[in-house]
């Protein structure tokens, strides 16, 4: 496409202005020099308002997440990588192989083009790693003070292997409950960064695409996998309560085997947080037939993102659909839904 404008964008000192969302020359330039450049793929190069894809046969999983995290850059990631990981993971939690992503940007007037470029490159890298090209998108600009830097909404689409039926309503008494690794890393990393807390060991977000891990789990136990969920906002406690409610069961977990990094535990004490309620962006909770738990734990621990996978509890019959925890001290307590907002804008 011949460029309908003359000067390249200034990605060092330039800023986004209202014209970049106006549909004219300036927007075409931003799309060509930034988005198409870095999200480089044949669908975007077609420059249509939609992407045309060929999907393999099978049931299709689709998921959308709007990302409003603050700050935009945090230890272990940024809003760009997070927007890919969050949506890839939501698609993968159906057992699907995520295939494509779309992205809608809402940008505040005056946002530095250098930061936008950093976000777009990070997003592009995350998409390549996850194997999910960003095939179409949209850019809107709102006046200064009407947004907060950048918001990114991503939609992911994937195809579910035949015979796989993973859903939040499939947990049954007797099932095992597994987590793929340490909990609370993402929320604590973001909070520590907001509060300017420093620890001896730097706490990094666990933000990562879990589709490879899920594919390994599906391969070893295609029918024994019942529920998968990534415990993001509201943390593990919320995901377990959701699953208990959807399936009409109770869940009992054990505190002792629950993987929590020492530095995350320490930071939670300082910040007054309960790690059970702190967001994760690279972990999953899995409910499976009890006899498949060992095989699943083995493949999970063989995957870089499941090295600390653990059996943490079991599903029980419970008309109240409570989530309970056997504490390290020998007691048992209810792990309730969070009522309000422990950590605003964590994803």
- Window 113-152: residues binding its own copies (CB under 8 A): 135-143, 145-148, 151
As measured in angstroms, the least distance from the Cβ of 200 to its own copies is 30
By DSSP bridging, strand 310-316 and strand 176-179 are: antiparallel
**Residue 109 Cα to chain centre, angstroms:** 27
- Segment near its own copies (CB under 8 A), from 117-125, 192-200, 263-271, 334-342? 334-342
Q: Tell me the C-alpha distance between 51 and 215, whole Å.
A: 26
Q: Which of 126, 347, 77, 98 is nearest to 238 (CA)?
A: 347
Tokens of 325: 């925890």
Residue (207 or 342) nearer to its own copies, CB:
342
- Where in 308-327 is the site for its own copies (CB under 8 A)? 321
Residue from 168, 181, 282, 313 that binds its own copies (CB under 8 A)? 168
| Peptide linkage before 251 cis (omega within 30 of 0) | no
Is residue 25 close enough to count as binding its own copies by CB under 8 A?
yes
Query: Contact at 8 Å (CB) between 2 and 87?
Result: no
Interface map 238-257 toward its own copies (x if CB under 8 A): x--xx--xx-----------
Residue from 75, 161, 259, 338 that binds its own copies (CB under 8 A)? 338
CA atoms within 13 A on the CB side of 279: 21
- Segment near its own copies (CB under 8 A), from 12-20, 121-129, 216-224, 295-303? 12-20
Neighbours of 283 (CB within 10 A): 31
Q: Tell me the C-alpha distance between 123 and 130, whole Å.
A: 10
Is residue 291 close enough to count as binding its own copies by CB under 8 A?
no
Residue (147 or 295) nearer to its own copies, CB:
147
- Where in 207-236 is the site for its own copies (CB under 8 A)? 229-230, 232-235
Is residue 33 close enough to count as binding its own copies by CB under 8 A?
no
As measured in angstroms, the least distance from the Cβ of 223 to its own copies is 16
**Residue 61 Cα to chain centre, angstroms:** 16
Residue (242 or 314) nearer to its own copies, CB:
242
Q: Tell me the C-alpha distance between 156 and 164, whole Å.
A: 19
- Where in 64-83 is the site for its own copies (CB under 8 A)? 64-68
Residue from 90, 115, 216, 255 that binds its own copies (CB under 8 A)? 90
As measured in angstroms, the least distance from the Cβ of 302 to its own copies is 26
Residue from 91, 126, 127, 175 that binds its own copies (CB under 8 A)? 91
Query: Contact at 8 Å (CB) between 298 and 216?
Result: no
Q: Tell me the C-alpha distance between 65 and 56, whole Å.
A: 24
Is residue 23 close enough to count as binding its own copies by CB under 8 A?
yes
DSSP E strands, 161-239: 176-179, 225-229
Q: Tell me the C-alpha distance between 277 and 202, whole Å.
A: 21
As measured in angstroms, the least distance from the Cβ of 128 to its own copies is 19
As measured in angstroms, the least distance from the Cβ of 239 to its own copies is 9
Q: What is the total count of residues that contact its own copies (CB under 8 A)?
A: 91
SS3 readout for 196-215: CCCCCCCCCCCCCCCHHHHH
């Amino acid at each position: 496409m011949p460029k309908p404008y003359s000067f390249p964008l200034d990605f060092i000192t330039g800023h986004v202005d209202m014209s970049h969302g106006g549909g004219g020359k300036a927007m075409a330039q931003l799309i060509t020099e930034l988005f198409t450049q870095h999200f480089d793929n044949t669908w975007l190069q077609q420059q249509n308002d939609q992407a045309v894809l060929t999907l393999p046969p099978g049931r299709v999983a689709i998921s959308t997440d709007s990302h409003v995290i603050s700050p935009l850059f945090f230890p272990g990631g940024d809003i760009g990588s997070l927007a890919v990981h969050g949506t890839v993971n939501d698609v993968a939690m159906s057992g699907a192989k995520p295939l494509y992503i779309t992205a809608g940007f809402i940008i505040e007037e005056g946002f530095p083009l250098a930061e936008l470029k950093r976000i777009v490159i990070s997003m592009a890298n995350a998409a390549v790693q996850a194997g999910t090209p960003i095939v179409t998108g949209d850019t809107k600009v709102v006046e200064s003070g009407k947004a907060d830097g950048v918001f990114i909404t991503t939609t992911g689409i994937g195809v579910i292997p035949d015979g796989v039926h993973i859903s939040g309503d499939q947990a049954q008494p007797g099932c095992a409950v597994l987590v793929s690794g340490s909990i609370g890393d993402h929320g604590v990393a973001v909070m520590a960064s907001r509060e300017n807390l420093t620890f001896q060991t730097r706490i990094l977000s666990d933000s990562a695409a879990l589709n490879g891990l899920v594919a390994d789990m599906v391969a070893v136990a295609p029918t024994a996998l019942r529920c998968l969920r990534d415990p993001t906002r509201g943390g593990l406690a919320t995901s377990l309560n959701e699953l208990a409610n959807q399936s009409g069961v109770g869940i009992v977990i054990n505190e002792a085997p629950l993987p929590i990094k020492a530095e995350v535990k320490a930071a939670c004490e300082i910040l007054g947080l309960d790690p059970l309620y702190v967001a994760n962006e690279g972990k999953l909770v899995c409910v499976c037939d009890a006899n498949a738990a060992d095989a699943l734990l083995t493949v999970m621990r063989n995957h870089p993102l499941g090295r600390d996978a653990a059996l943490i509890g079991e599903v029980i019959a419970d008309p109240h659909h409570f989530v309970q925890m056997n504490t390290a001290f020998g007691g048992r307590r209810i792990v309730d839904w969070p009522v309000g907002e422990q950590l605003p804008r964590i994803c």
